[in-house]
Structure 1
Amino acid sequence: MRYYSDLLNYAADTGDTVALVKASSAVCESCKAYADFIAKSNAANGLLSGDYHEHIVDVPQLNRGKPGFAGGSANLTVGAYTSKETKTDSPLVSQPAQYSRKFALVDQGGNWVMYEWKQTEQ
């Protein structure tokens, strides 16, 4: 989960989602939605600013499921940041928040990739 979080942060910094998409299953809707958004709105093009990096606090659960699947939960924080979809849009201001992320991983060619994730604010 920490590696995937690093990929999310790298994509947010650069707009480069190649590694993030490669570490995500093709059926992961949350992964695709995040990658699509961050490809358009990222720090490199000036549409994302502030303390937008997520910080994993802990991963209290990680369990193997049926063969080839694993899942768990992670607790994370994100600071205050602003984002815009285009340069002419009004900024969307996000306050610091804590989240719980439930996630599922799938074995894809010997590598664990993100199958799905959902996070809720705590």
Structure 2
Amino acid sequence: MTTRNRQATALTLACLCAAALLPACTNQSPKAGQPNTAPPDSGPTSSATSTPTAGNSTPVTGTPSTAPERPKAAEGLTLPAAEAFVRHYVELMNYASATGDIPPLLSASDSGCRQCRVYADYVKKVNASNGGLSGDFSERVDDIPDLFRGENGRLGGYAKVTIGAYTSKDSPTAKPVTSTVRKYKREFTLAPQQGAWVMYEMDLVPQ
């Protein structure tokens, strides 16, 4: 599992692409903690919305009026609570992408989580509510196959996720950037805070 120092080194070696949801250093590697915005490849595409399977995070297809609340299953510091929290955190990311409302996401993040802040800062500016995102931009959790306890009470692991086909624009006059359906590993570290998990660091790795 990456640490903040290793993550910073990796980002440096990856050429420190422009912050936020701009295309990554290469067309095949989206920035950590952000949806993919690479130009379309020859992979499959999907419709603007897709139907989630049972147990997966639900795509945000409209503009929700309120942020998702932490479920009871995500309370506490057990491994099952960690898995429930990761699914909840993805829902908060999807909510922020749909609305531009970032305080709920940041309240579930450690204050030092760099990629949490990068993601939040971008979707505050570019989101579905203001026309910056359209299509199936929600991230969906397919599985969380690996959780392990680390040092200082932290917990690491990764989730297998899918992001659908969507379009993003950094401004009303910007050229749209389209992405096809892609699968990723969302690597993460959780930290205990006031008896519950928060996101300590995260990285999005293309598969």
The two structures have a TM-score, normalised by structure 2, of 0.58
Q: Which residue of 2 aligns with 1:62?
A: 147
1:32 aligns with 2:117: yes
Number of residue pairs the alignment of both structures matches: 122
Shift of 1:66: 2.2
Greater mean alpha carbon deviation, residues 90-99 or residues 63-72: 63-72
1:22 alignment partner AA: S
CA deviation vs aligned residue, 1:70-106 (integer Å, no higher than 9, x gap) = 0101000011101111111111111110001110000
The two structures have a TM-score, normalised by structure 1, of 0.96
1:117 aligns with 2:202: yes
Whole-angstrom distance in 1 between the partners of 2:104 and 2:153: 21
Whole-angstrom distance in 2 between the partners of 1:66 and 1:43: 38
The one of 103, 113, 120 equivalent to 1:18 is 103
Whole-angstrom distance in 2 between the partners of 1:119 and 1:14: 22
2:199 alignment partner AA: M
Q: Which runs of 4+ in 1 moved over 4 A?
A: none
Could you say what secondary structure the match of 2:151 adopts?
coil
Whole-angstrom distance in 2 between the partners of 1:108 and 1:91: 39
Whole-angstrom distance in 1 between the partners of 2:89 and 2:181: 21
Larger Rg, first or second structure (1 or 2): 2
Q: Which residue of 2 aligns with 1:92?
A: 177
Whole-angstrom distance in 1 between the partners of 2:153 and 2:196: 10
Whole-angstrom distance in 1 between the partners of 2:107 and 2:176: 30
Percent of pairs with identical residues: 48
* Root-mean-square deviation (Å): 0.8
Unaligned 5+ runs, structure 1: none
Matches of residues 66-81 of structure 1 in structure 2 within 5 Å? Answer: 66-81=151-166
2:101 alignment partner AA: D
